[in-house]
Amino acid sequence: MSALAGAVVAALEPGEGTAYDGFGPVTVDVPRERWVEALEAAHAAGAVFFDLLTAYDLGPDGFAVVVHVASADARDHVLVRTTVPRDDAVLPTATGVYRGAAWHERETHEMFGVGFAGHEIAPLLLPADFGAAPLRKDFVLAARAARAWPGEKDPSDSGGRARRRTLPPGVPADWPEAGT
Amino acid sequence: MTPDARPPRTRGVIALVEESCTVCMLCVRECPDWCIEIDSHTETLPPDDTHRRPRTNAVLDRFAIDFALCMYCGICVEVCPFDALHWSPVAEYAATSPDALVHERDRLASWEATVPPPSPLDPHGVVEDPGPRRPSPRG
């Protein structure tokens, strides 16, 4: 485990922060209540360079929010990650620790509908009345709903025998079909 | 940079070898951008000397790649079990309308002449000649 990740884990109660040493930088999973403390610990340990904050959709498990911060002096970096439930997707803001997180929180709020308590969020990229979070998995992609999947054709369709219908990979089965 | 000066692995345009395509639809179904379209029909071949029963054969009618949608991931080239698709380093096919970026089968086939020869095997990938094979017991 890198020194930065160790500092983040050490700042939390035993068992609260779990470090995952993957293929890239170490990822420290923290409970959402300790989000700001974890970031403060990373900052205090030298990770003063804020790279990014973003989220990804875990489906029924909610959203993962991840921050990547680095220390140029120590040539070390760490990912701090937490999860928020779908029906209460709110995190305390990271802008108190890293002011540069403001734009990223605005974008994450627009794209995933994750709220950041203590941060007055103004629209960043989308029109103010867009009314949906387009990077959520349940957001229907217009390009996938408006057009028929070219892979549905089958050269043996002229045979008359009913075949098992093939579905496009990666497109949920409950999305509307083209023309409906 | 001219196409000749680019490394052979360059992803410029996708070439189609029509003779190798069996209309298996794998490339169409794997394409994450839905940018390949194939139309085909089946025809029935009558029995002949080697086939005692009539056979159905898929015939390619249309093969088109929309390079306005393509993101050059190369999954179609990788997935083709019959090596009918190849990367060509030619990238000089800009167009003034999105429709003109849809390359139909004639145009895709014309890129075949620009496909570089396959790169030599990695030195450690070459197995030494094991010598003449023993004849199998079944002949």
pLDDT band at B9 (very low <50, low <70, confident <90, very high): confident
Query: Over the stretch B66-100, which tens digit does the pLDDT of each residue have?
Result: 999 999 999 999 999 999 999 999 999 999 999 99
The class level of CATH for B3-117 reads alpha beta
Question: Is A134 inside a domain boundary?
Answer: no
Distinct helix (H) and strand (E) counts, chain B: 3, 5
Helix (H, G, I), strand (E, B), or coil: what is residue B39? strand
Query: Over the stretch A21-66, which tens digit does the pLDDT of each residue have?
Result: 878 789 999 999 999 999 999 999 999 999 999 999 999 999 999 9
pLDDT band at A114 (very low <50, low <70, confident <90, very high): very high
Using alpha carbons, select from A36, A26, A24 the residue that is nearest to residue A117. A36
Q: Which domain holds residue A146?
A: 140-180
Burial of B31 (0-12, 13-18, 19+ CB in 10 A): buried
Find all residues with CB under 8 Å of A115, minimum gap 6, and list them. A89, A90, A91, A109, A121
Neighbours of A152 (CB within 10 A): 16
pLDDT at B35: 95
A107 and A161, same domain (yes or no): no
Question: Is A131 inside a domain boundary?
Answer: no
Evaluate whether A145 touches A178 at the Cβ level (below 8 Å).
Answer: yes
A112 and A168, same domain (yes or no): no
Interface test with B, best of A141, A144, A156, A171 (most B CBs within 10 A): A156
Chain B contacts to A (CB-CB under 8 A): 23, 25, 28-32, 34, 36-42, 56, 58
Total domain count, chain A = 2
Question: Is A48 inside a domain boundary?
Answer: yes
CATH number, domain with residue A98: 3.30.460.80
Query: Over the stretch B39-72, which tens digit does the pLDDT of each residue have?
Result: 999 888 888 888 889 988 899 999 999 999 999 9
A27 and A69, same domain (yes or no): yes
pLDDT at B103: 97
A105 and A59, same domain (yes or no): yes
A106 and A40, same domain (yes or no): yes
Question: Is A164 inside a domain boundary?
Answer: yes
Across A64-82, b (16+ Cβ under 10 Å) vs e yields bbbbbbbbeeeebbbbbbb
A58 and A146, same domain (yes or no): no
Query: Over the stretch A2-21, which tens digit does the pLDDT of each residue have?
Result: 889 999 999 988 888 888 88
- For the stretch A50-53, contacts whose Cβ atoms lie closer than 8 Å and that sit 24 or more positions apart, written own/partner, are A50/A98, A50/A100, A50/A101, A51/A77, A52/A104, A53/A94, A53/A101, A53/A104, A53/A105, A53/A108
Global confidence as pTM? 0.67
Question: Is A165 inside a domain boundary?
Answer: yes
Report percent pLDDT > 70 for chain B: 97
For residue B38, list chain A residues with Cβ-Cβ distance below 8 A.
Answer: 150, 153
Evaluated on CA atoms A25, A29, A32, A35, the torsion sign reads negative
